[in-house]
């Protein structure tokens, strides 16, 4: 790491511009390590991060629940062990690509058109590189934060976290137990009409993935009937997509809408999944031969549950729509999570974000999807999604998550890195200017 030593200071400060360049270089390097899940190969990223930490004299713990599925955790000791640790959290796996539909190679980390391109540039090797850079900078500064800082870069988030956060929470809770976690998803500019928002994730929905199966009598394709398993499942699917689940405005969403000057009735479509449980049919299966009417048909339903709901309350609501006959089997599920925004850390995120983009509003937010936060929250952590990046209105940021041509605007990331460093260092009782020159 490149440094500037200031004669008058007892600590060695890092030149900010060089720190930015190094963080961008680390992001490019992480993108070039293909950690597509499946199969994962997160060991590649863990080894890279461990090497960078090792160069600054920091040891990392690598937990590998399955071959090449590595989770990396390290800890910087703080001054006061009574203060709950802050964990900087990322996942190192990425979703698969359809390379033929990309403008650029998805694992090159190329810099072009003001962006760094590649799978993971947004979700979420950029935050991984930011976290790594900050821990390296802290260590190098020689300053002691007032509480422990944990760096977690884990596997398997994109496939349900079985070999990542979920595994660590179940089998190595001492490594990842924190008072506060900064994770995806939030801190990016959301252009809503004329206003600029910075959603800060404080809540996320749970999921209940269900296979729904119906049976009927099989028959010959030459003898058509209306009452087949296929017709029934088609009916149920149509009913499901046309029947909204019960609207329930959680106190958090009510407060956020109020802060935006909106009633729940005025909420734009973007908010709809945050105001109800939802269900989406995703995989349909029936039939095995072109001239046989099958006796069974099934559909996989991707159910998402609001904070305050459970697997059983979701299944009850689903039953009300599909009726008593279909067989419902839960394939996998995980609970929702919600943290209070009434904390010093949230206030710090809000005030510093609003100061960094005057006129914008940072608001507590619910993610309709799932992140590792729901698992860390099970150990008592207050988890926020804060991976700041400034975006102009033309950037199709949302569609680049898991999409083609995933890329991160460098100017926006530079802005975000400055804000992130400011928030993290402040929360640790340090000032930006203590660490960076």
Binding track, positions 180-219, relative to Zn ion; x by CB under 5 A:
----x-----------------------------------
CB of 92 to Zn ion, least distance (A): 10
- Tell the smallest beta-carbon distance from residue 91 to Zn ion (Å): 6
Tell the smallest beta-carbon distance from residue 122 to Zn ion (Å): 8
Angle at 356 between CA 354 and CA 360, to 5 degrees: 40
Residues 110-129 that bind Zn ion (CB under 5 A): 123-124
Task: Count the site residues for Zn ion by CB under 5 A.
Answer: 3
Name the nearest CA neighbour of 84 among 6, 175, 147. Answer: 147
Question: Is 115 or 165 the residue whose CB approaches Zn ion more closely?
Answer: 165
**Among residues 67 and 369, whose Cβ is nearest to Zn ion?**
369
Tally Cβ neighbours within 10 Å of residue 306: 28
| Minimum distance from residue 401 beta carbon to Zn ion (Å) | 8
How near is the Cβ of 19 to Zn ion at its closest, in Å? 24
Read off the tokens for 318: 């689903």
Asked if 163 contacts 372 with a C-beta cutoff of 8 angstroms, the reply is no
Site for Zn ion in 38-77 (CB under 5 A): none
Of 68, 71, 69, nearest to 60 by C-alpha is 71
C-beta nearest to Zn ion: residue: 123
Rounded to an integer, what distance in angstroms lies between the CA atom of residue 303 and that of residue 212? 12
Closer to Zn ion by Cβ: residue 22 or 184: 184
CB of 302 to Zn ion, least distance (A): 17
Q: Considering only residues 319 through 338, tell me which ones interact with Zn ion, judged by CB under 5 A.
A: none
Nearer Cβ to Zn ion, position 35 or 298? 35
Question: How many Å apart are CA 299 and CA 294, to the nearest integer?
Answer: 14
Least separation, in Å, of the C-beta of 145 and Zn ion? 26
Task: Name which of 93, 68, 69 is nearest 159 in CA terms.
Answer: 93
Give, as one character, the DSSP assignment of residue 15.
P
With respect to Zn ion, which residue has the nearer C-beta, 123 or 405? 123
Q: Which is nearer to Zn ion, 339 or 425 (CB)?
A: 339
d(CA 414, CA 396): 18
CB of 157: closest distance to Zn ion in angstroms? 6
Measured distance CA(259)–CA(195) in Å, rounded: 13
302 or 311: CB nearest Zn ion: 302
Q: By C-beta, is 38 or 221 nearer to Zn ion? A: 38
Residues 294, 218: contact at Cβ < 8 Å? Answer: yes
In whole angstroms, the minimum distance from the beta carbon of 2 to Zn ion comes to: 30
Convert residues 166-185 into a mask of x (bound to Zn ion by CB under 5 A) and - (unbound). ------------------x-
DSSP character at residue 4: E
Q: Residue 14: beta bridge partners?
A: 436
Angle at alpha carbon of residue 368, lines to 363 and 373, rounded to 5°:
80
What's the DSSP call for residue 272? G
Parallel, antiparallel, or unpaired for β 111-112 and 61-66? unpaired
Closer CB to Zn ion, residue 161 or residue 278? 161
Q: How far is the CB of 106 from Zn ion (least distance, A)?
A: 16
- Using CA atoms, how far apart are residues 338 and 255, in angstroms rounded to an integer? 14
* 30 sits near Zn ion (criterion: CB under 5 A): no
* Nearest by Cα to 323 from 380, 402, 240, 423: 240
Nearer to Zn ion, 94 or 257 (CB): 94
Instruction: Count CA within 13 A, CB hemisphere, residue 192.
Output: 19
Which residues of the chain form contacts with Zn ion (CB under 5 A)? 123-124, 184
């Amino acid at each position: 790491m490149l440094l500037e030593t200031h004669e008058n200071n007892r600590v060695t400060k890092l030149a900010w511009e060089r720190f930015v360049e190094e963080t961008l270089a680390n992001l490019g390097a992480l993108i070039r390590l293909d950690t597509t899940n499946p199969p994962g190969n997160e060991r590649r990223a863990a080894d890279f991060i461990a090497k960078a930490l090792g160069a600054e004299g920091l040891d990392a713990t690598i937990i590998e629940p399955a071959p090449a599925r590595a989770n990396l955790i390290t800890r910087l000791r703080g001054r006061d062990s009574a203060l709950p640790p802050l964990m900087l959290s990322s996942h190192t796996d990425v979703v698969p690509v359809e390379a033929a539909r990309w403008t650029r190679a998805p694992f090159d980390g190329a810099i072009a058109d003001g962006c760094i391109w590649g799978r993971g540039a947004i979700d979420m090797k950029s935050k991984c590189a930011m976290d790594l850079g900050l821990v390296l900078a802290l260590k190098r500064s020689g300053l002691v934060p007032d509480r422990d800082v944990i760096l977690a870069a884990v596997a398997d988030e994109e496939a349900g976290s079985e070999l990542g956060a979920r595994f660590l929470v179940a089998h190595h809770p001492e490594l990842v137990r924190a008072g506060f976690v900064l994770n995806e998803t939030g801190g990016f500019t959301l252009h809503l009409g004329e206003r600029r928002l910075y959603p800060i994730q404080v809540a996320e929905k749970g999921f209940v993935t269900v296979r729904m199966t119906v049976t009927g009598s099989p028959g010959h394709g030459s003898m058509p009937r209306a009452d087949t398993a296929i017709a029934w499942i088609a009916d149920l699917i149509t009913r499901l997509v046309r029947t909204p689940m019960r609207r329930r405005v959680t106190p958090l969403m009510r407060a956020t809408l109020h802060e935006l000057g909106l009633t729940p009735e005025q909420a734009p479509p973007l908010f709809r999944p945050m105001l109800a449980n939802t269900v989406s049919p995703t995989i349909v299966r029936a039939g095995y031969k072109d001239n046989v009417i099958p006796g069974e048909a099934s559909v996989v339903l991707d159910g998402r549950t609001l904070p305050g709901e459970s697997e059983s309350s979701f299944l009850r609501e689903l039953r009300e729509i599909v009726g008593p006959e279909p067989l419902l089997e839960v394939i996998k599920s995980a609970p929702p999570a919600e943290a209070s925004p009434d904390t010093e850390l949230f206030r710090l995120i809000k005030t510093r974000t609003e100061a960094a983009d005057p006129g914008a509003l940072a608001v507590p937010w619910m993610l309709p999807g799932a992140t590792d936060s729901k698992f860390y929250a099970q150990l008592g952590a207050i988890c926020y999604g804060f991976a700041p990046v400034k975006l102009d209105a033309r950037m199709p940021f949302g569609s680049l998550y898991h999409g083609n041509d995933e890329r991160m605007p460098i100017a926006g990331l530079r802005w975000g890195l400055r804000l992130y460093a400011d928030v993290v260092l402040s929360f640790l009782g340090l000032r930006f200017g203590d660490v960076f020159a």
